[in-house]
Structure 1
Amino acid sequence: MDFWTRLLGGSTKKQAAANNPQQRLARFKQRYNQILQTWQKTRSLANDRDALSNIRRGFQALTAILNDESRSPAPHLCLSFAAAQQIYTAISKIAATSHDEGVIRDGVAVYSALIDSEEEDFLENDVFAASLMNFIGRTIGSGSMGVGEDIEADIVELLFGIAAKIRLQPEILPVWFTTAAADTNGRLVNQKVDFAGMTQKEDFPLCYQLIDHVHHEGRIGDFARTGLLYIFESASKSKTLEQWIVNSDLPTLMATGLGALYSQLSRKLSILHSPNDLPLILTFSDYSEMQPNSQAESFFSPDFQGHMDTFLSYLTFWQDVLEHCRSVDVRHTLIDHFQVLFLQQLLYPSLLESSDVDGGSSVAVLTYLRRILDALDHPELVHMILHYLLALPDYAVTSPKTPRSPAAIRRRQSLMLLNVPEKEDDRLNPSLFNLVDLVLSSVESRNPQTVVAALKLTTIILGKNHGYALGSMIKIMGVHHREPLRTVGALNVELSLYLNLAVSLAGETRVDEAYENHLKDKQSMLESHPCSLKALALSTLSPHASSYFDSDAGPRDVESHYLMPEDPLFRSLVDLLLRFLTNDVETNLALTETIINLGLCSQLRLDGWLAVDPSEYLFQEADLESQEGSNDNFRDVYKANRAPKWDSSAVPPLLACLLSLQVQVDALRADIKDWDEHVANRKQAFSFHEEMTEAAQSTPQMKPARPSGELSSGSWTPQVPKHVLESSTTPSRTQSPRGRKEGLDARSTPVASPIPSKLGGQTLVGSPSRGMSPLPAPKAGNRQTTLMSDVFANLAEVANADVLKRRIRFRKPDDSMMVEVMLSKYQPPPKEPSDDAGADAGAEAKDDIREASLRHIITNVVILQEFVLELVALMQVRASLFNEVRFG
């Protein structure tokens, strides 16, 4: 033991010396004096490398000593010395005049060590605050020397830490925020300001430094936005700060900053995939024949994705500020600036100026609006945007329940005057052309990209903000009776019709598995729909969650309603559905998603568009007479279970359109040899690709997470119809529900399987037409699986290359709901030129003639089958979940 004691004795003495407060203070003073001497003796510090190196070592030594002392027990003599001698003033001057990034970085570290010590009240010291902000202003302020992003991030992180302390300790706010416009009682003196407010950076330089960096990406932007968020949250604890923000140019800077980021987005946009990076499902189609506009920027380019991410981050920051700001005046001042400077002066004009003729501006605006609405959840912002762009009667933000202060009222009035045009004819009025007009015209466009962009925007509005779509995007009429008129017998007949239709389109293979997945998926989607909250909420619970602020902004209450037969949007959807076999794949995926989202509203009756109107039921009276003498309850049950019939004129338009598509498929089956075999091979290729992709993504050591749509024990279990179970012996290999949940973005995982939800939902990975929560891109380890599936697909294609390349024409006569398949053996021989050739050409020009390759049509047939199965699942789950049919 004596040996080990003697051996360790030296290190014990050294450690004791290091922890000795007096000796630590002596070393600290020595290092500090060396820094001062080096600085004072050097004429041009920026050009003397040896002096810069000595100062850097000195700064690093000071930081190490301060950090060591902060972890040691009291007394903390070095921190006391630093506070008494105000060493930070010298450090600020030395670092700012060095023009050296290394010295600046080490100077920031010294400031951080002083602040982190939480002693000597550095954050409550006016001199400390002034020296720090002067240092930062000369380092990263406007006109300052340029420093690297890592150093800038360290400085902004330092500012964030101070803002966090102000949020927790409001009493230190006066140190960092002072205003010469305040009277002796701390109240702001009324001053005449224009719409931009007062620019007085000297009042609150910390706040202005944060606002200058909120647009950055990465750490810089994250720290700046969060720090500024804390400043706005502190406004509710300081009346002086609250009035200063209202009167300052801070709201203007925030709104114009958002507008600047939006303006950086390309005016013309192409949402086509690169030919070298197509998802599998697109390779089985004519997608490669679509040519992008050379003047449009690609949605999938890294530059565009960077600009879009930055814009959405700042938009989300706006939302966070409004959620955390408890000051009514500040919140409504921000909303006013958002409305005038961004919505009315930038976003709506870009909608107004968009065009489908120039090949990309309509696609861009529709895509940007979709991303904006998908990112926003704040009720006031959503209310303002949709009420204005949809030209709803009360599009202006309703008056707040809490009255505004006189200063806030004056600020709003001056801001509104800015938006008044000199001439009345120059006023932009959404009542003349609004988002509804743009969507309706875009859905009918001949440009597939425009159609896809319009459908995806429609899906977002129908899904997230359904109350705003009623009466604007979709025309409805109220329901005067609450009890359902549809019967369980009619439901069984309709389910059987749709199921038989699905099987006749693409065979029985994997139908049972697909339908089971759809049932689970649709239950999850119905339960999470905004309109379902009221229908499923317990009577003792309020369907609306309590909010953190009082606001009248919100959508209209959604009551039970019908879809009007002449609704323009629905008629356009049916018209698109009629051309399903020749549509491009992305259009069909977006189309099916829109129709499914329309049916997810629990308050929308299915009668008349998806299901047969009960008034059209026809029953055999003889069957009812046979039940005479039975009690009333038994008779009611029997009546509800009868299978009705109906005239052909009573068939709902969606079913009629699907039956027309079935006729087209039957014509192809009769003319093309081995049609059913081609369809089965295509389904097998998609299935194989999906299974290999899922196998590569899951590891044996980790059990896959339970999907959100999977049913928990004890919940309602969907019953697969016996017809489906008996019609296929294919074992179920996928237990997780498929749905429209996975995001289709540039960074999504490529899964190109036509299994229920992925075709009806987000199959096209990387497509801008799907959800906005992208999954990570596939890693190199998945390349083997992708290669195997590609080889499998290529073998199937090569074996039938000549047959699958055959082009088939489809003709839809003008004002007709029937599409004729113009097969080769039915095509008439070319006519000889004659006098009436011009008349024949004119008549034929009115017809809508489109063509596609056989492999493209087969892919769309597989998608169509999955869509029909989705409709069946939707009808069955709705009937069980919302008691939509009578059982007695």
Structure 2
Amino acid sequence: MDFWTRLLGGSSHKKQQAANDPQQRLARFKQRYNQILQTWQKTPTLANDREALGNIRRGFQALTAILNDESRSPAPHLCLSFAAAQQIYTAISKIAATSHDEGIVRDAVAFYNALIDSEEEDFLENDVFAVSLMNFVGRTVGSGSMGVGEDIEADIVELLFGIAAKIRLQPEILPVWFTTASADSNGRLVNRKVDFAGMTQKEDFPLCYQLIDHVHHEGRIGDFARTGLLYIFESASKSMTLEQWIVNSDLPTLMATGLGALYSQLSRKLSILHPIEDLPLILSLSDYTGMRPNPEAESFFSELLQNHMVTFLSYLTFWQDVLEHCRSIDVRHTLIDHFQVLFLQQLLYPSLIESSDVDGGSAVAVLTYLRRILDALDHPELVHMILHYLLALPDYAVTSPRTPRSPAAVRRRQSLMLLNVPEADDDRMNPSLFNLVDLVLSSAGSRNPQTVVAALKLTTVILGKNHGYALGSLVKTMPVHHREPHRTVGALNVELEMYLNLAINLAGENGVNEAYENHLKDKLSMLESHPCSLKALALHTSPSKVPGYFDSEAGAREVGPHYLIPEDPLFNSLLELLLRFLTNDIETNLALTEVILNLGSCSQLRLEGWLSVDPADYHFENDGSEPEQFSTDGFGSMYRANRPPTWQSSATPPLMACLQSLETQIQALRADIRDWDEHVANRKNAFMFYEEMNEAAKTAQQARSSRPSSEAPGGSWVPQIPKHVLDNSTTPSRTQSPRGRKEALDIRQTPASSPAPSKLGGQTLIGSPRGMSPLPAPQAAKRQTTLLTDIDANFATFKKSDILKRRIPFRRLTGSQTIDVMLSKYQPPPPEEPSDDATAGAEPKEENEDVRDASLLHIITNVIILQEFVLELVALTQVRASLFNEVKFA
């Protein structure tokens, strides 16, 4: 037995030595290579000979395996030396390109990867290798090529990305992949006359053109292409020849026109209505189901539009990544110029002025696309260019010097600007005549709820993310000449109490304390993350220059303390919508409250005159007198600051007056409708219960995801992206519950805004028949499913109640700020056929009156939302006072 064991072991050892022997490995490599050549030469039509294709594929795979084994073996590496000396990659390239077989192409890509990954023989520094590889790529995935599958194309683009990464780390190999015959002896490009589009010299840098041909793709292809091209632009700062070549080439034009092509794929008419079959709870308990989209408009939630939107935004993000990483001033200036002329001025702005609210969708589309663009962009230069142009903002002086452009960049800009000059002055599109401000203001007053919602959501993004650009354009303000606050802590306490009492009068005291605590946390996070709060909260240290993306040519104006002008058109439009709060559709009210809260989040905007009472209107009883002990002890100023003031009704802030008008409407409903408070309490309990169940589901999902991988089968968990995240990440969705804002704050805000943990642990739930005690996971899941089924059934019964389907008209006389609830004129339940506009169910009865109606079901839901909004105002006012020292205590 020992004899046979030693004999077999020795045989195995000899085989292993033979496999690792460099000479024998080289012999096998040459044999395989010769077999491939013979098969190729003996087969006249390789594409039609399946047996020959199979033999060549096996040969390619064997060559790749030998190279990989040799790379892991100690030197000498004779096969790699043979491949470099004999330039066998040229034959591999020709065979793969003429085979028209995806399998052979895949194996050829693996062979090239094996050569590059070996990092020997300097393949990437070999001109012949570069030409051979780019010819292979051009014949397989270039224009007019054989057309391979998406997975193989992704492998090829990944190969190109790897080369671009090598060029970024080793700039000395750039001349191998980038050559130009127009450079002089010093390496500078010879001046050649070009038009705005630049020179198309694909033979100079085929790697770059192949990457730019794939940057607009989705998935791996687009990711690798965009990152590879990003490395190319980053390398421009290390090569003057490449820098000038990019400035004079058509690459900036291709990038700008490619962005425009992706934008043009988006639908011209858009509907942002949620699908009826997948409505959030808060929308289903309203008149939302009666709203119908324009049949010509594409749904924002359709898979096709979402795919186009993701691709467009990915390419837009790629633009700002290029500008951030590219250190060449001339290249960045050239890219910015092309973005401005070819995309902003010739495509984006024309779509704005051509939009209309009459055709039922084009205004909604433009406003929604602009919101997504501004939400995705963080680069100061791009944001500045878009908002400065679309809002028709005046130029203001730049304090620091600008970086001069090279003569080539200046000539390129001049030729590009000539393209945008119209033949006749009448054809010139000027934002000073019609701009984004005009579109937003006109849309905010539209009778189409979708147009209103789209305008409000865009306004929220501008106010919350780019507040400095909104001042003087969307929001009319006047500067504050005094720094010290004039409001007193006594007045603050009176106002907080008034707003809080108003909130309780709207929908009762049930759940107010818990909601208010959550709103305090949310508003603190919201204020701390506001762009205007950075200066107010910053420590007073020596000024230092904050590094930015670009030079000092861009940026919003410095935001100083300011008042809101009472005649501000935007604020008056918001008040008009707020006055119609009870009959507005749900999404309009959610967007409306979001705009007002974002307006009040600016630390530099004083609340006096619109949210708080002007201190000039304070009246104090026994003014001038104070207790003797305070005057003697020096506490007189503190006593005076803490006195509760009074004021006349004419001094009531417009926002508070509007809310008091809504309170009057609700009081009229409460006095006339039987069991009004019970209906409101049931609705609030339903929302609170549903929110608790959502939090419990989130907790259970987090617990499952935190388990070790051995407890769950592979691939059993698939991440789900909520629709509101796809819809908008800056303007949070609050369509799940009236208190949804605390769960969906801006992703740029601090984690302090996260919702409170679930309170299901043994406590009695409001609206539930009994308390819920902790259960084992299987029982808890079964219990949760049963409860959700029960509550859905209750909601179905709730919605079918005749009293809740009654429509209540609200009448407003022309020019009046009072809305009358026409309680004595109940109408029968609406017909089964839904109207085109659910929130404007009744046309004006007379020329001097405007009558709108809504179901009681819809009105009660709006009352719950209104109470949450007032509580948020109270929290905002309180947090601002303490965070920014807005009131004086002495």
Q: Taking structure 2 as the reference length, what is the TM-score of the superposition?
A: 0.89
1:394 is displaced (CA, Å) by 1.8
Deviations 1:617-663 (A, max 9, x none): 10012673434771474001101100000000010000000000001
Rounded to whole Å, the distance in 2 between the matches of 1:65 and 1:431 is 69
Rounded to whole Å, the distance in 1 between the matches of 2:83 and 2:317 is 41
Rounded to whole Å, the distance in 2 between the matches of 1:761 and 1:77 is 61
SS of equivalent to 2:535: helix
Pair 402,627 (structure 1): closer, same or farther in 2 beyond 3 Å: same
Q: Which amino acid aligns with 1:88?
A: Y
Q: Which amino acid aligns with 2:861?
A: T
Rounded to whole Å, the distance in 2 between the matches of 1:468 and 1:404 is 27
SS of equivalent to 1:844: coil
What's 1:190 paired with? Answer: 191
- Whether 1:663 aligns to 2:667 is no
What's 1:771 paired with? Answer: none
What's 1:81 paired with? Answer: 82
Deviations 1:117-143 (A, max 9, x none): 111000000000000000111111111
Does the aligned pair in 2 maintain the 1:384–1:396 contact within 8 Å?
no
Does the aligned pair in 1 maintain the 2:620–2:646 contact within 8 Å?
yes
Rounded to whole Å, the distance in 1 between the matches of 2:309 and 2:125 is 40
Pair 313,547 (structure 1): closer, same or farther in 2 beyond 3 Å: same
What's 1:634 paired with? Answer: 635
Rounded to whole Å, the distance in 2 between the matches of 1:751 and 1:651 is 29
SS of equivalent to 1:477: strand
What's 2:806 paired with? Answer: 806
- Whether 1:92 aligns to 2:93 is yes
Rounded to whole Å, the distance in 2 between the matches of 1:536 and 1:741 is 35
Rounded to whole Å, the distance in 2 between the matches of 1:604 and 1:460 is 17
SS of equivalent to 2:854: strand
1:756 is displaced (CA, Å) by 3.2
1:185 is displaced (CA, Å) by 1.9
When the two chains are superposed, the root-mean-square deviation of aligned CA atoms in Å is: 2.6
Rounded to whole Å, the distance in 2 between the matches of 1:157 and 1:532 is 43
Pair 753,131 (structure 1): closer, same or farther in 2 beyond 3 Å: closer
Pair 286,118 (structure 1): closer, same or farther in 2 beyond 3 Å: same
Pair 266,741 (structure 1): closer, same or farther in 2 beyond 3 Å: closer
What's 1:690 paired with? Answer: 691
Rounded to whole Å, the distance in 2 between the matches of 1:693 and 1:137 is 53
Pair 484,624 (structure 1): closer, same or farther in 2 beyond 3 Å: same
Rounded to whole Å, the distance in 2 between the matches of 1:59 and 1:625 is 99
Rounded to whole Å, the distance in 1 between the matches of 2:11 and 2:734 is 66
What's 2:725 paired with? Answer: 743
Rounded to whole Å, the distance in 2 between the matches of 1:356 and 1:787 is 45
Rounded to whole Å, the distance in 2 between the matches of 1:33 and 1:127 is 21
Pair 796,174 (structure 1): closer, same or farther in 2 beyond 3 Å: closer
The structure 2 residue matched to 1:865, chosen from 864, 867, 871, is: 867
Rounded to whole Å, the distance in 2 between the matches of 1:333 and 1:399 is 21
What's 2:608 paired with? Answer: 607
1:513 is displaced (CA, Å) by 0.6
Q: Taking structure 1 as the reference length, what is the TM-score of the superposition?
A: 0.89
Q: Which amino acid aligns with 2:875?
A: A
What's 1:876 paired with? Answer: 878
1:501 is displaced (CA, Å) by 0.6
What's 1:309 paired with? Answer: 310
- Whether 1:758 aligns to 2:741 is yes
Rounded to whole Å, the distance in 1 between the matches of 2:388 and 2:230 is 27
Does the aligned pair in 2 maintain the 1:754–1:862 contact within 8 Å?
no
1:16 is displaced (CA, Å) by 2.6
Pair 360,741 (structure 1): closer, same or farther in 2 beyond 3 Å: closer
Deviations 1:758-806 (A, max 9, x none): 389679xxxxxxxxxxxxxxxxx99996784364143145157111111
What's 1:477 paired with? Answer: 478
Q: Which amino acid aligns with 1:83?
A: A
Report the more deviating stretch, 394-403 or 539-548.
Answer: 394-403
Alignment of 1:822-861 (within 5 A): 822-824=822-824, 844-861=846-863
SS of equivalent to 1:808: strand
Does the aligned pair in 2 maintain the 1:384–1:395 contact within 8 Å?
no
Rounded to whole Å, the distance in 2 between the matches of 1:398 and 1:294 is 52
Does the aligned pair in 2 maintain the 1:690–1:752 contact within 8 Å?
no
Q: Which amino acid aligns with 1:817?
A: Q
Rounded to whole Å, the distance in 2 between the matches of 1:378 and 1:638 is 50
Does the aligned pair in 2 maintain the 1:356–1:445 contact within 8 Å?
yes
Pair 265,543 (structure 1): closer, same or farther in 2 beyond 3 Å: farther
Report the more deviating stretch, 429-438 or 391-400.
Answer: 391-400
Deviations 1:657-701 (A, max 9, x none): 000000111111111111111111111111111111221222387
What's 1:117 paired with? Answer: 118
Report the more deviating stretch, 53-62 or 391-400.
Answer: 391-400
What's 2:511 paired with? Answer: 510
Q: Which runs of 5+ in 2 are unaligned?
A: 707-721, 747-779, 828-842
Does the aligned pair in 1 maintain the 2:724–2:733 contact within 8 Å?
no
Pair 790,613 (structure 1): closer, same or farther in 2 beyond 3 Å: farther
Rounded to whole Å, the distance in 1 between the matches of 2:542 and 2:9 is 70
Deviations 1:446-493 (A, max 9, x none): 000000000000000000100000000000000011000001110010
Rounded to whole Å, the distance in 2 between the matches of 1:600 and 1:349 is 33
Pair 10,578 (structure 1): closer, same or farther in 2 beyond 3 Å: farther
Pair 783,114 (structure 1): closer, same or farther in 2 beyond 3 Å: farther
Deviations 1:296-355 (A, max 9, x none): 000000000000000000000000000000000000000000000000000000000000
Q: Which amino acid aligns with 1:868?
A: V
1:846 is displaced (CA, Å) by 2.8
SS of equivalent to 2:278: coil
Q: Which amino acid aligns with 1:743?
A: V
SS of equivalent to 1:496: helix
Pair 636,751 (structure 1): closer, same or farther in 2 beyond 3 Å: closer
Report the more deviating stretch, 392-401 or 563-572.
Answer: 392-401
1:850 is displaced (CA, Å) by 0.6
Rounded to whole Å, the distance in 2 between the matches of 1:316 and 1:787 is 45
Rounded to whole Å, the distance in 1 between the matches of 2:301 and 2:285 is 21
Rounded to whole Å, the distance in 2 between the matches of 1:188 and 1:590 is 54
What's 1:130 paired with? Answer: 131
Deviations 1:394-413 (A, max 9, x none): 29999972211111100000
Alignment of 1:34-113 (within 5 A): 34-113=35-114
Alignment of 1:274-285 (within 5 A): 274-285=275-286
Alignment of 1:503-582 (within 5 A): 503-540=504-541, 542=543, 545-582=546-583
Pair 787,260 (structure 1): closer, same or farther in 2 beyond 3 Å: farther
What's 2:258 paired with? Answer: 257
Does the aligned pair in 2 maintain the 1:756–1:870 contact within 8 Å?
no
Q: Which amino acid aligns with 1:795?
A: N
What's 1:774 paired with? Answer: none
What's 1:17 paired with? Answer: 18
What's 1:795 paired with? Answer: 794
Rounded to whole Å, the distance in 2 between the matches of 1:350 and 1:606 is 36
Rounded to whole Å, the distance in 1 between the matches of 2:318 and 2:259 is 10
Does the aligned pair in 1 maintain the 2:844–2:850 contact within 8 Å?
no
Does the aligned pair in 2 maintain the 1:688–1:789 contact within 8 Å?
no
Rounded to whole Å, the distance in 2 between the matches of 1:555 and 1:11 is 75
Does the aligned pair in 2 maintain the 1:593–1:760 contact within 8 Å?
no
Pair 701,336 (structure 1): closer, same or farther in 2 beyond 3 Å: closer
Rounded to whole Å, the distance in 2 between the matches of 1:324 and 1:842 is 58
Pair 104,484 (structure 1): closer, same or farther in 2 beyond 3 Å: same
SS of equivalent to 1:368: helix
Identity %: 77
Deviations 1:130-170 (A, max 9, x none): 00000111111111111100010000000000000000000
Rounded to whole Å, the distance in 2 between the matches of 1:701 and 1:355 is 45
Rounded to whole Å, the distance in 1 between the matches of 2:568 and 2:208 is 51
